[in-house]
Every structure is written in structure tokens, then in C-alpha cells.
């Protein structure tokens, strides 16, 4: 009898791409994939450990699975599983913990699905995570997340990702192109390029430390793949966002004018403590270059508040810097201490209530920035890709420059790329539109 298996992903787009690839191993008569809110025999949870909240989410997800089936076999994979396998294995209900390399060979560890008194750990030393496994996510969305790179050689003082994912390494250019072609054949209209540090693409491409290709080489090659209507670049470090990449996107017919560029702090003092590889002047230069080439481009920013040593003046510098910068939205992270990071040992910690207050202020600024950006697009003609989820009678989609639109649910419009005019903002801050031309495809 086939076993029902369900998957849940916490964290980033990279995790989604890997979950999808791992799930494709569960094929044939032995397994039946079901949704995570259904009773399953096996629940696979791909974990994140960027923040303390991500750790807490995992525990909640385990409880949710066990409510659906108390006898279910619970498997933990991902960053949290690699960083703290013993902590996860000791949690009630967890049966198997797989590390950074073992997760890609999950079927080899599922011979015995009986519940365990304590989770069994199969976890490598992170130095052993030095090979590359290509991944992409399809099926659940109208867009695909295509992994092109993994790991990171940067040593930011707050970050556990190098400890969880290992050294920077890349997929081969040909394999990325093959994966893109496979995605195109499945009528997926948009690809989102993802990785830990995708601007570092090319390092370790063929098992060595040098760059056989660059990220610029990659985007130029992907431009020529037939069948993909648009490609979106996910987060790129400002020091790796080369001028020629910005110029290329500005002239591209496929790459869209949307950039997500981590800042982390608008204070040079804090950037230095974070061991970031740039100062705010470089960040300003990149934003100005994007806007000079693409005035309607969307620019998203990652920022951390409450880092050790961040005074009121340092935070005010960050707030003022972001307020004056021509950006579109913020992803705000409240600093949380992570084990085995230099920042966790730094003096002058910021009180939790101060961190919370600063986070709230920046989230308010983000809402203001997003609304101003959306309002600047009213009257423009854009292309929207409509998604397949019915949310309380509405369907949603994004324009090429990442304006979120909504319209009453119509199953005929799922996965449609529509020519539209943005007409107004509704009471919930969503943008409405009228259809100018449809391009429905089977």
C-alpha cells in the first residue's frame, strides 16, 4: 500500500526549490503526495534558522502534523536541522533529522517508518557539504524558483548560513540552462533565480574555487532560452550587483525591472560591525544607477534592526537613509542572537523592547514606501501574471516591476499573462486594473 507523504517549507525561495526537487523523488506506486493539512504517513519539514522565530515555527508545524496523524513519521531537513540536529531530534514527535547533504538522499533513510523515542540523526560536518545539487520548484505556482548557487563564503557576523549550507558553489551553466528549458516546457511563464549568494555565481561551478562563469555570463545565457516570458532576479549583494548587470536588465526583453538588494543597516559603523562588504555610499550609487536606467523599477531592501551596538543615533541614520532613498519596500528583520556567530558575543546588546519599537517604525516606513511606489504606477500599462490561488474570491498577480494586483477570481485567467492598465488603489492598498489585451495559452 502506498504511503501518503506531505511537505512543508519554512524560509526562503531556495528552500522552496529544494523541497520541490526532493518531493519529486517520491514517485511511483510507493508514495502518494498529499497536502500538508491532510493526514499523511510521512511529513517532511524543510526548516529555516535565520531567526529565532523560524525555530519556533518549526515546533508549531510538528504539532500541527501530529494532530492530523499522531502516528506519522516526522522528518526534519534544512538549515535548522544542520545547525542543531540534537535539539531537533529531542523534540517530541520528530523521528528523523537529515543534514545538508543527506536531505537529497532522503529515500535511503525511510526503510523503517515506525515512530522513534528520539529522532535519528544523519548529519554531515558542514565541510562535507562541498558538492552541488541542482533544484527547481514547479507545480504549486505559476512561477518557478530555479536554484543556481548554494552556500556562502562571506562571514557576516550575524549569519549562520555558511554554517548551515557550507562554502559557495554553483550549478554548471549548462545544467542551469537545461533546468530552465525543462521549466519552459511545462508552461511556466516566470522563473525566479535563487541561491544563497547568487551574485557569486560561477564559483565552484566545476568543483574548483575559481569562477568558470560569472553571474553576468549566466543572465546573458538565460536571456536566450526560448519559452520563458520573464525572469526575475532574487536577492543580490550590492557589491556583487555589477554595473553591466544593471545595464543588461535595463535592455532585456525577459529580465524584469525588479531588484532586491540587502542593505542591513544605513549606518557605516553598524555595517562594519556586521562585516558587510560595502558602505552605504555604494548602496546609494546602485539605487541611483537602477533608477537612471529604469525609472519604474522596483527596489526591495533587507534591513536588520537592533544589532549589538546600534544606538538611537545609528538607527536614526538608517531610518533617514531609507526614507530619502528611492526604494519601493523593505523586508525588516529584528536582530536575534544566533549561536556560534561573532555578533552573539558582542557587547552593547539592544533591549528587546527597543528592537521591537525600531522594527515597527521601519515596517511603517515600508508601508509608506510601497504605497507611494504603487501610486506612482497608476495609469501605467503593464503585464501581469495571474496566480492560481483563490483567496476569498480574489486572485492576485504581479506586474513585471512587482506591483501586486488583484481582481475577482476567474479560473480561466490562471497562469495568464495579461496586458493591463493600472487604474486605482483599493481600500486595502491593492492595485486594480482593466484588461487591455489577453494572451491566454493552454
219-239 mean pLDDT:
96
Are 78 and 15 a contacting pair, CB within 8 Å? yes
Say what the pLDDT of residue 140 is.
Answer: 56
Say what the pLDDT of residue 406 is.
Answer: 93
In angstroms, the CA 90 to CA 127 distance is 24
262-266 mean pLDDT:
98
What integer best gives the mean pLDDT of the chain?
92
Q: Can you read off the three cell numbers belonging to residue 339?
A: 549561536
Are 164 and 79 a contacting pair, CB within 8 Å? yes
Q: Hey, do 130-256 and 381-439 end up sharing a CATH topology, with the first three levels equal?
A: no
Instruction: Label residue 426 by pLDDT band (50, 70, 90).
Output: confident
CATH architecture observed for domain 130-256: 2-Layer Sandwich (3.30)
Instruction: Label residue 126 by pLDDT band (50, 70, 90).
Output: confident
Q: Which of 120-124, 286-290, 347-351 has the lowest mean pLDDT?
A: 120-124
Most confident among 111-120, 138-147, 300-309 (mean pLDDT)? 300-309
Query: What does the pLDDT look like over 210-223, one tens digit per residue?
Result: 678 999 999 999 99
CA-nearest of 103, 73, 98, 100 to 88 is 98
231-238 mean pLDDT:
96
Whole-angstrom CA distances from 41 to 3, 115, 353 are 6, 11, 42
Q: Where are the alpha helices (DSSP H) in 223-336?
A: 243-251, 268-274, 280-293, 312-324
Query: What does the pLDDT look like over 172-220, one tens digit per residue?
Result: 999 999 999 999 999 899 999 999 999 999 998 876 666 789 999 999 9
Longest dimension (CA), the chain: 64
Instruction: Label residue 353 by pLDDT band (50, 70, 90).
Output: very high
54-83 mean pLDDT:
92
Q: What is the CA angle 154-155-158, rounded to 5?
A: 125
Q: Is 434 helix (H, G, I), strand (E, B) or coil?
A: strand
Are 183 and 146 a contacting pair, CB within 8 Å? yes
Say which residue the cell 479560473 belongs to.
411
Instruction: Label residue 441 by pLDDT band (50, 70, 90).
Output: very low
54-60 mean pLDDT:
83
Residue by residue, what is the 3-state secondary structure of 104-134? HHHHHHCCCCCCCCCCEEECCCHHHCCCCCC
Given a cut of 80, whether residue 271 has pLDDT beyond it is yes
In angstroms, the CA 214 to CA 217 distance is 5
Share of the chain above pLDDT 90, in %: 81
Share of the chain above pLDDT 70, in %: 96
316-320 mean pLDDT:
98
Most confident among 22-36, 137-151, 163-177, 259-273 (mean pLDDT)? 259-273
Say what the pLDDT of residue 1 is.
Answer: 67
Calculated CA dihedral for residues 242, 368, 256, 250, nearest 10 degrees: -50
235-244 mean pLDDT:
97
The CATH homologous superfamily to which domain 381-439 belongs is: Nucleic acid-binding proteins (2.40.50.140)
Query: What does the pLDDT look like over 281-300, one tens digit per residue?
Result: 999 999 999 999 999 999 99
Give me the residue spans of the domains in the chain.
3-124, 130-256, 260-274+285-376, 381-439
Instruction: Label residue 132 by pLDDT band (50, 70, 90).
Output: confident
The DSSP symbol for 140 reads S
Q: Is 75 helix (H, G, I), strand (E, B) or coil?
A: strand
122-126 mean pLDDT:
81
Given a cut of 90, whether residue 405 has pLDDT beyond it is yes
Fold of 260-274+285-376: Transcription Regulator spoIIAA (3.30.750)
User: Which pairing describes strands 143-147 and 417-425: parallel, antiparallel, or unpaired?
Assistant: unpaired
43-70 mean pLDDT:
88
> Per-residue DSSP letters for 52-69?
HHHHHHHHHHHHHHHHH-
Please enumerate, as own/partner, the contacts of 416-421 that have beta carbons within 8 Å and a separation of 24 or more. Answer: 416/385, 416/386, 416/440, 416/441, 417/189, 417/229, 417/383, 417/384, 417/385, 418/383, 418/384, 418/386, 419/381, 419/382, 419/383, 420/381, 420/382, 420/383, 420/384, 421/379, 421/380, 421/381, 421/382
Q: Is 335 helix (H, G, I), strand (E, B) or coil?
A: coil
Q: What is the CA angle 228-191-302, rounded to 5?
A: 145
The values of phi and psi at residue 104, to 5°, are -80, -5
Are 274 and 320 a contacting pair, CB within 8 Å? no
Are 40 and 70 a contacting pair, CB within 8 Å? no
Given a cut of 90, whether residue 117 has pLDDT beyond it is no
251-275 mean pLDDT:
98
Given a cut of 50, whether residue 109 has pLDDT beyond it is yes
Q: Is 202 helix (H, G, I), strand (E, B) or coil?
A: coil
**Count of C-beta atoms within a 10 Å radius of residue 321:** 17
Given a cut of 60, whether residue 440 has pLDDT beyond it is no
CATH architecture observed for domain 3-124: 3-Layer(aba) Sandwich (3.40)
Report the side by side order of strands in the sheet with 190-194: 136-137, 143-147, 190-194, 230-233
Instruction: Label residue 347 by pLDDT band (50, 70, 90).
Output: very high
Are 44 and 75 a contacting pair, CB within 8 Å? yes
Are 363 and 186 a contacting pair, CB within 8 Å? no
CA-nearest of 258, 246, 248, 253 to 230 is 253
Given a cut of 70, whether residue 66 has pLDDT beyond it is yes
Instruction: Label residue 125 by pLDDT band (50, 70, 90).
Output: confident
Say what the pLDDT of residue 182 is.
Answer: 94
CA-nearest of 378, 275, 266 to 322 is 266
Amino acid at each position: 500500500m502506498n504511503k501518503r507523504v506531505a511537505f512543508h517549507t519554512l524560509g526562503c525561495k531556495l528552500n522552496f526549490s529544494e523541497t520541490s526537487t526532493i518531493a519529486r523523488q517520491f514517485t511511483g506506486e510507493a508514495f502518494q503526495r498529499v497536502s500538508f493539512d491532510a493526514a499523511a504517513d510521512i511529513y517532511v519539514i524543510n526548516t529555516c534558522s535565520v531567526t529565532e522565530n523560524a525555530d519556533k515555527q518549526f515546533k508549531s508545524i510538528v504539532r500541527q502534523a501530529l494532530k492530523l496523524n499522531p502516528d506519522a513519521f516526522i522528518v526534519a531537513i534544512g538549515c535548522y536541522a544542520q545547525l542543531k540536529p540534537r535539539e531537533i531530534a529531542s523534540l517530541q514527535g520528530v523521528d528523523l533529522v537529515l543534514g545538508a547533504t543527506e536531505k537529497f538522499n532522503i529515500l535511503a533513510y525511510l526503510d523503517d517508518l515506525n515512530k522513534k523515542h528520539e529522532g535519528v540523526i544523519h548529519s554531515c560536518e558542514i565541510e562535507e557539504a562541498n558538492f552541488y545539487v541542482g533544484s527547481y520548484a514547479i507545480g504549486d505556482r505559476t512561477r518557478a524558483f530555479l536554484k543556481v548557487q548554494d552556500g556562502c563564503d562571506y562571514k557576516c557576523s550575524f549569519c549562520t548560513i555558511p554554517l548551515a549550507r557550507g562554502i559557495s558553489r554553483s550549478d554548471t551553466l549548462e545544467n542551469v540552462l537545461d533546468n530552465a528549458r525543462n521549466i519552459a516546457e511545462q508552461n511556466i511563464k516566470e522563473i525566479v533565480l535563487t541561491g544563497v549568494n547568487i551574485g557569486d555565481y560561477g564559483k565552484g561551478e566545476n568543483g574548483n574555487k575559481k569562477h568558470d562563469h560569472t553571474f553576468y555570463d549566466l543572465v546573458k545565457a538565460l536571456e536566450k532560452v526560448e519559452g520563458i516570458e520573464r525572469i526575475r532576479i532574487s536577492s543580490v549583494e550590492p557589491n556583487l550587483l555589477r554595473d553591466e548587470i544593471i545595464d543588461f536588465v535595463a535592455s532585456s526583453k525577459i529580465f524584469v525591472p525588479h531588484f532586491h538588494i540587502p542593505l542591513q543597516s544605513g549606518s557605516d559603523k553598524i555595517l562594519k560591525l556586521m562585516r558587510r562588504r560595502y558602505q552605504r555610499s555604494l548602496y546609494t550609487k546602485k539605487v541611483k544607477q537602477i533608477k537612471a536606467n529604469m525609472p519604474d523599477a522596483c527596489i526591495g531592501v533587507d534591513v536588520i534592526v537592533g544589532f549589538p551596538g546600534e544606538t538611537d543615533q545609528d538607527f536614526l541614520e538608517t531610518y533617514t537613509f531609507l526614507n530619502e532613498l528611492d526604494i519601493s519596500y523593505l523586508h525588516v528583520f529584528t536582530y536575534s542572537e544566533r549561536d556560534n556567530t561573532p555578533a552573539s558575543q558582542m557587547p552593547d546588546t539592544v533591549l528587546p523592547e527597543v528592537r521591537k519599537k525600531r522594527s515597527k517604525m521601519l515596517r511603517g516606513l515600508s508601508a509608506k514606501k510601497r504605497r507611494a511606489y504603487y501610486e506612482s504606477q497608476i495609469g501605467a500599462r503593464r503585464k501581469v501574471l495571474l496566480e492560481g490561488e483563490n483567496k476569498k474570491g480574489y486572485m492576485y498577480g504581479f506586474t513585471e516591476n512587482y506591483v501586486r494586483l488583484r481582481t475577482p477570481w476567474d479560473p480561466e485567467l490562471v497562469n495568464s499573462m495579461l496586458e493591463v492598465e493600472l487604474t486605482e488603489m483599493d481600500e486595502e492598498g491593492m492595485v486594480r486594473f482593466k484588461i487591455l489585451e489577453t494572451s491566454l495559452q493552454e
